[in-house]
Amino acid sequence: NLIPGPAIVPESPSILPADTELFLTLSLDLPQIYAAMSKPQRIVEATNRAIPVKDIEMEGPFAEIEKGLKIKLKEDLLPLLGSEIVVSMPVNFLEDGRLPKPNPQSIPAEEKDQKPKSEPSFLIALSLKDKEAMRALLPRIVDSLGFKGASALAQTEQSGDTALVSYGNMLSYAFIQNFLVFSADPATTKL
């Protein structure tokens, strides 16, 4: 169900840090993907007995998500998103899915006393058509994800014209140019 979006000239390289090891950028037609995936599936129930086959209609796969988030994806979220999607990660993330810890004996003596540098983390960036509407919608989505009152725990850090919003080490996001950038690591989101 991955439906390609329009051809793009990627804008994401301008928001990623120079030391980005690996990133994937793609253009997807999110409204068409939603339409294809939201069609109710038919389940055919059959038994070995001479009972007629019975078709059962199921609701679309997004119904539970929409109930949980208290938004309509098609009306509230999809019109705000562009087609460019970016995934950035360190190369060693592909090896075993986690970041290695440095061997203490391999660290030079002059660097042992310094605060360890944080490794880059997994990051996702979504292009936006309407940044201000997404800025208003996102706190509602975070509160709906089961973090009742999470907005009260949000810490905002301003850097130039970019505001970084973090919820501990669970989620952080920032609006950078026309992208929503998010990661579990605030330092990674800060770029």
Q: Is 157 left (phi over 0), alpha (psi -120 to 50) or beta?
A: beta
What's the one-letter identity of residue 81? L
Q: Is the pLDDT of residue 119 over 90?
A: no
What pLDDT does 59 receive?
66
What pLDDT does 27 receive?
95
- Looking up tokens 């540098």 gives 117
Find all residues with CB under 8 Å of 77, minimum gap 6, and list them. 71, 137
Q: Which two structure tokens, joined as six digits, stand for 80?
A: 């705000």
Q: Which of 51-55, 94-98, 150-154, 170-174 has the highest mean pLDDT?
A: 170-174
Q: Which of 19-33, 60-74, 131-145, 152-166 has the least mean pLDDT? A: 152-166
H/E segment holding residue 37: helix 30-38
What pLDDT does 51 receive?
47
What pLDDT does 92 receive?
77
pTM of the model: 0.74
User: For the chain, what is the mean pLDDT?
Assistant: 78
Tell me what the mean pLDDT of segment 20-41 comes to: 87
What pLDDT does 170 receive?
78
